[in-house]
Structure 1
Amino acid sequence: MTAIAVVSIVPIVWMIAGSLRPYQELFKYATSLNVRLFVPVEPTLANYREVIWDDRNPFLRYIGNTLIVAVSVTALVLVVNSMAAFAFAKLRFKGKPIVFALFMSAMIIPAEVTLVPNYLLMHDFGWLNSYTALIVPSALSVFGIFLLRQFFAEIPGEILEAARIDGASVTRVFASIVLPAAVPAMITLGLMTFLGNWDSYLWPLIVLNDDKKQMIQVAIASFSSLEGTDWSKILAASTISTAPILALFLFLQRYYIQGITMSGVKG
């Protein structure tokens, strides 16, 4: 596990170190296996200043755009998918196995296959070049429904029946019993959804034409042009974009691990 951790952390450390190097120094020590590979000889914050205060590419605006979309999608995914998962796990309705099988079959379809149909659908709705095209299609997650459904299915039915006997409605049972018991799974799904939208590149590149509305990963790619690639700025921008994700994961890692490993209700 230590070896795996080192292999995972070394690229992040190199990225941070590279973001503090002048461009001329970046590749000078790239092939040397010594301390200079990870410790800048002439550390500088110029790369961060140029990235943050670039008038042509307002990076702080891109971070704000991405934050709005990622938070909106995460909130919608948690609400919509938790209700769908509860219906599949605990409610009875005609054709439930068939509908659930159809949902699961969508997981084997590559996302690239649906790019053109989704783009045409956004065009017909008039949502191109707007955040709606990024938020609404992402509100439904088949994997999210499957994850929460497996978690909800392990909640003892006797608890729900007791609540119904006491007069609780389906909505009250869902909000007061099921959701509090599924906090780790909800946080796990929320983290995965937020990360996926924070790192989204292809779909925003397709549906957004206004540079002022663009997402952070597309903005990072803009540092590569016909004149050349400014790798120092790319590393600085990548470090800035990675910091919120690392902070969020470190803060919620306990719940994330529980959501992955737990499949039922304890206690």
Structure 2
Amino acid sequence: MYQWLDYFRNTILIAVFTILISLVTSMLAAYALSFIKFRGRNFVFTLVLLVMMIPGETQLIPNFVIMAKLGLVDTIAAQVLPYGASAFGIFLLRQFFLSLPKDYWEAARVDGCGHLRFLWSIAVPMCRPILFTIALYSFIGCWNSLIWPLMVTQSPKAQPIEVALATFLTSNSADWQGLSAAAIFTTLPVVIVYILLQKHIIRGISRGDGIRF
């Protein structure tokens, strides 16, 4: 029981840190692609769209090589850093930022508001539904992640709950009651979070209407 709590704690830590980092990087990148004019801005956004089309499996070996060279194998950080940027989050937030009237930024600039202040005080409060959507997608991705944690971890001190469930399935294939309890234990938190935030998800996705260049 205590070991399962350790797996549960590891998964929560991975999810929380991944969500926080991905939200920060998504907001900053999306804001730069929306409000800051620089050469190649549309090309950078096209690259973001292309990243969304690349299967995650193709990134496993390069990510593992990088984590190994950094000495982060079998750590929580190795399961957080590769997913600290979300192309999906950048896409959604950029589409929302482009829909904001330019008058907001012009009025804020007249009042002496800089880019970071405008982002934090005006843009972020208006895009909370989208932030909830990105956070939930990151949470579900972290909670259900199996292949990457299985590659990059070897000990229970850093393994998430999905790896524990896969190990339990292999070693206790005949213990159907235990397998059922473990499956419910790993699935129930995701279901609860989705039920609580489903309205925010629908609102967040509906705000990113169409692709703008």
Q: TM-score surpassing 0.5?
A: yes
Tell me which structure has the larger Cα radius of gyration.
1
TM-score by length of 1: 0.75
Q: Which runs of 5+ in 1 are unaligned?
A: 1-51
Query: Quick check: 1:65–1:215 contact (8 Å CA) kept in 2?
Result: yes
Aligned to 2:138: 193
Question: Alpha-carbon deviations, 1:108-140, whole Å to 9, x = none?
Answer: 211111111111111111111111111111101
Where do residues 57-72 of structure 1 align in structure 2 (5 Å cutoff)?
Answer: 58-72=3-17
Identity of aligned residues (%): 37
* 5+ long unaligned stretches in structure 2: none
State yes or no: 1:248 paired with 2:182.
no
> Which residue matches 2:98?
153
Q: 1:140 aligned to 2:81?
A: no
Question: Equivalents in 2 of 1:229, 1:222: separation in Å?
Answer: 13
For 1:39-118, what aligned pairs fall within 5 Å after superposition?
52=1, 58-118=3-63
109, 124, 130: which one aligns with 2:69:
124
Alignment-mate amino acid for residue 14 of structure 2 = V
Partner of residue 230 from structure 1, selected from 169, 175, 180: 175
Question: Which of the residues 109, 125, 128 maps onto 1:164?
Answer: 109
CA contact (8 A) 1:223 1:229 kept: no
- Aligned residue number for residue 34 of structure 1: none
- Hey, what does 1:44 align to over in structure 2? none
The higher-RCO structure (CA 8 Å, 6+ apart) is 2
Once residues 230 and 139 of structure 1 are traced to their aligned partners in structure 2, the CA distance between those partners, rounded to angstroms, is 37
CA distance in 2, matches of 1:227, 1:111: 30
Q: What is the distance in 2 between the residues matched to 1:117 and 1:242? A: 30
1:71 positional shift: 0.6
The code of the aligned residue for 1:220 comes to: L
CA distance in 2, matches of 1:187, 1:73: 14
Q: Which has the higher helix share?
A: 2
